[in-house]
Structures are given as C-alpha cells and as structure tokens.
Amino acid sequence: GTTLKAAAERSGRYFGAAMGRDRLSDSGFLTIANREFDMMTAVNEMKPDATEPNQGQFSFAAGDAIYNWAVQHGMRVRGHTLAWHAQQPRFWGSLSGSALRSAMIEHINGVMAHYRGKLAYWDVVNEAFAENGSRRSSNLQSTGNDWIEVAFRTARAADPSVKLCYNDYNIENWSYAKTQGVYNMIRDFKARGVPIDCVGLQTHFTGGSSLPSNFQTTLSSFAALDVDVALTEADVTNAATNQYQGLTQACMNVPRCVGITTWGIRDSDSWRGSENPLLFDRNSNPKAAYSAVLNALNAA
C-alpha cells in the first residue's frame, strides 16, 4: 500500500486520525485525511459537554459535521467519548449520587440513540483509572464503583451494533500498575458478562525511550481476554521513527489489534504541537516517521 489506509487495509486494519470541527475548512488537512485515513475520531465534538450542554438538550451539529464529512469520504467513525471525569456538561457538576448516575445513563441513551447504527466504535468510558491502578476519584466514581459496568450495559442496550471500548492512557506498559488495574477490570467484566468489546490504548508516548518493550505483551494480554485492542490517540515526542515503527509493529503482530489512530494529522493539529509528535509536518509533508509506519504496515 502506498498510503497509510491502503497499507493497513492489507491486513484488515484501519488507520485513523482525529479532527476538530475547525479542520472542515482546512483544505490542507482534508486533503491528507482523505488520501491517507479510513477512520475518524472527533477530538472534542462528541464529548459529554459538547453533546449535552444542558440537561436533556442534546447538541449534535458539531459531531455530525465531522461524522458526515468522514462518511462521505469513505471513512468509518470512532465515537469519543460518553462518560469521563473531564469535559463534562456543567450541570453534571451540580449533581451527585443517584441523580448524577441517572444523568450519565440518560446521556449515554441520548447520544447513542442519535448515532445508533452509525459508528464503528464508542469509547464508552474514558480514563477512569489512576496511575496507581485504583479507580480515579471523580464525581462519577463517587456514584458507586459499578458506574463503569452500568455505562457499558446501558451502551449495549442503546446500540447493539457498535463495538464498546474502554479507553485510557499510560496502559501501554505491561509492568505498570495502571495497566494491571485496567486489565483486571476487563477480566472481571468478561467473567461476569458485562458487555465490552475493546480496549483503546491512547499511546501518547513521550521521550526517546518511551515505547515499552513489553507493549506487544500488553496488547496480546488484553486480546487474550477476548477483546479487540486499538491504538486510539497515538503521538510520539518528536515523532521518533523507532517508536512509531515499534508501536505499529506491535499492533501488526497482534491479530486482534484492529487499527491505529493518530491524535491529529500534522504537527500543527496536535495538542502537543511544540513536540512535533505527528506523522506530517506543518507544511503537510510526510515525515520520516510516516515512512517507518507505512513500511511496518506493509511488512505484515
């Protein structure tokens, strides 16, 4: 394959990117997106604060704009995200206990009804673990430890067609406590029949030696629990070629690694822009890391 998506599709995988609504008027971005990518994630537009700014008042214009552009250009879409400690609707901040729990359920139902049958994946819950492997404290966690499984059960009922993912960062290193915390939750969910289909590893790598040598072990260990895995927000400090090559190779070596998404396309799109962490430079030119990724995809 001569593009990221063509190379990924050789092995039945996708290659995705994330975009904000403002990129819909950025022809440089759109040209690369259309050429290279076959999966799209909205950076902010499908998050709880964006989709339900006021209780029971849903707002889908921004998310739909991204969705429609992506689908019109032959892409699939990952939904991101339904329940998270950050970017919550302001009204969640004045709720707690059973009222907040109900608001979360109603949010999941409302958003998933709108996108029912349309999305490939939903990040149902995002970033619910602390670095030490215990649950992150948050207003949602305070509604009871079962909030995550309630979110997944609600999601399955709301749209049985979409794959339901748990998504987090710093769960790439198999030896890390947070990785083990998430792993134990997924294992428990599978054992008890809580519906979950996939784990998203954000894959925000920092520093020259940041790709854990056991990253592939993490992917295969999650996969052994009978879930798909995906690299959902990949970026690497200074786009180190060996790191990008390694993370791509790790995915290609694990049959249930379904695809890789980078969090933006050009360095100028990145939340870590000063670190130049993406595959294309500010002038839309592919960087060395682009060739490393493309070659790793084609080697499979």
Q: Is 122 helix (H, G, I), strand (E, B) or coil?
A: strand
Q: Give residues 48-107 in contact with ligand G3I (rule: CB under 6 A).
A: 86-87
Whether residue 98 contacts residue 146, with contact meaning beta carbons closer than 8 Å, is answered with no
Q: Is 75 helix (H, G, I), strand (E, B) or coil?
A: coil
Angle between helices 215-223 and 177-192 (to 10 degrees): 10
Instruction: Please identify the residue of the shown chain whose CB is closest to the bound ligand G3I.
Output: 271
State how far the alpha carbon of 98 is from the alpha carbons of 39, 73, 84, 143, 144, in Å.
36, 42, 17, 7, 9
Total residues at the site for ligand G3I (CB under 6 A)?
A: 9
Q: Does 233 bind ligand G3I (CB under 6 A)?
A: yes
Work out whether strand 228-236 and strand 76-84 pair parallel, antiparallel, or are unpaired: unpaired
- Our answer to whether residue 275 is catalytic in this structure is no
**Tokens at 193, concatenated:** 């029949």
- Our answer to whether residue 233 is catalytic in this structure is yes
The beta strand positions in the chain, using DSSP E, are 14-19, 39-42, 76-84, 121-126, 163-168, 198-201, 204-205, 228-236, 257-262
Q: Is 60 helix (H, G, I), strand (E, B) or coil?
A: coil
Whether residue 170 contacts residue 201, with contact meaning beta carbons closer than 8 Å, is answered with no
Judged by beta carbon, residue 149 or residue 233, the one nearer ligand G3I is: 233
Exposed/middle/buried for residue 57 (C-beta within 10 Å: 0-12, 13-18, 19+): exposed
Q: Give residues 268-297 in contact with ligand G3I (rule: CB under 6 A).
A: 271
Q: Please tell me which residue in 36, 52, 149, 233 is annotated as part of the active site.
A: 233
Least distance (Å) between residue 226 CB and ligand G3I: 25
Q: Please tell me which residue in 36, 45, 52, 127 is annotated as part of the active site.
A: 127
Contact letters for ligand G3I, residues 6-45 (x by CB under 6 A): -------------------------------------xx-
Least distance (Å) between residue 50 CB and ligand G3I: 10
Binding site for ligand G3I (CB under 6 A): 43-44, 86-87, 126, 169, 202, 233, 271
Query: Looking at the annotation, which residues are catalytic?
Result: 127, 233
